[in-house]
Structure 1
């Protein structure tokens, strides 16, 4: 009987932790507005990410043309370095193709750093390639933190 009580207690703890995790995720989603991000089209997402960059003190933020952008959707400067962003508003995992496009766009635009930002998650191969090529990845959770930082920034500049 002692082992059964222990097992029931363990199951109760695991279920309790899962419920707390779900409540925390739901709370974070409502605070960040990620559900609205999920409803955006690709162009709206690019413009929203540009807005977040401005709110997070990036300089000279520019959304590139929607077609033929050579893999870079947003250009900006920070601390004197040139950055490029590939934006992917997806419902599924982002593949390593997005990372490849960011790498190519970085070379084409002579950038110091490139990143890929998504409202979703990255495939394992995308993560591996990004690590080897020094491409910064912002997945759903990191994007939510970025949104919260932007919302808390009282000294944010006006949009460029």
Structure 2
């Protein structure tokens, strides 16, 4: 037997806000027409508010540039964060891609040095990223260690971050941070996609893989196509 889906508490509250006034008006006026009119007015106001809130939320995401970040590869995401921090007055440097000792960026402002690991992921970030940035804090003599992702974190990663004093910035926090640091963060994100070439990676066939644009978004595709049809998520 299938489990009954739990109802949303917010939907229950909205139902009470509509049905409640109808019953009150009906009780005092004995007119169901008046009750329906009042309930209809309240329903219209609630619907309008929810539509307006949804539009504002979509516009907020558009201005943040998070949609462009979802199309980046890891290298482009690092470059984007570097430019974002610089636009907010930070001294920022992208570390070497080889031997970075766990940090992708080192940013400094007001005497505070922060070691950052950037994770442009299509799945939650695991515990390894937290362990690496915790080690990087010591290596770079940083005051703080951050992991920034366009996704979320596993429970183990969150627990490790708490015990190692690492700051985790997930998708929602990233959107808020980007808009706070630069109201035109989406412009930087768009410029990054247009001007910074995604890094090639190695394919199983020993050829290279480049970022391709498909029907459902960007992905890594083998440069030896059609001889090799291997693909990989960004």
Same fold (TM over 0.5): yes
Shift of 1:8: 8.5
**Does residue 74 of structure 2 align to residue 37 of structure 1?**
no
Separation of aligned partners in 1, 2:72 and 2:129: 19
- Residue 20 to residue 100, structure 1, CA distance change in 2 (3 Å): farther
Match of 1:142 in 2: 173
Shift of 1:20: 6.7
Structure-to-structure mapping, 1:1-160, within 5 angstroms: 9-10=15-16, 23-59=55-91, 61-152=92-183
Q: TM-score, normalised by structure 2?
A: 0.55
Separation of aligned partners in 2, 1:57 and 1:121: 27
- Residue 25 to residue 126, structure 1, CA distance change in 2 (3 Å): farther
Contact kept in structure 1, 2:113 and 2:142, CA below 8 Å:
yes
Structure 2 residues without counterparts, runs of 5 or longer? 1-11, 19-42, 185-234
Number of positions where the alignment pairs a residue of Structure 1 with one of Structure 2: 146
Contact kept in structure 1, 2:64 and 2:178, CA below 8 Å:
yes
Match of 1:3 in 2: none
Deviation sequence 1:32-67 (CA, Å, 0-9, x none): 1111001011111001111111122212x1100112
Structure 1 residues without counterparts, runs of 5 or longer? 1-5, 154-160
Shift of 1:10: 4.6
Q: Which has the higher helix share?
A: 1
Shift of 1:23: 4.4
Q: TM-score, normalised by structure 1?
A: 0.78
Higher radius of gyration, 1 or 2? 2
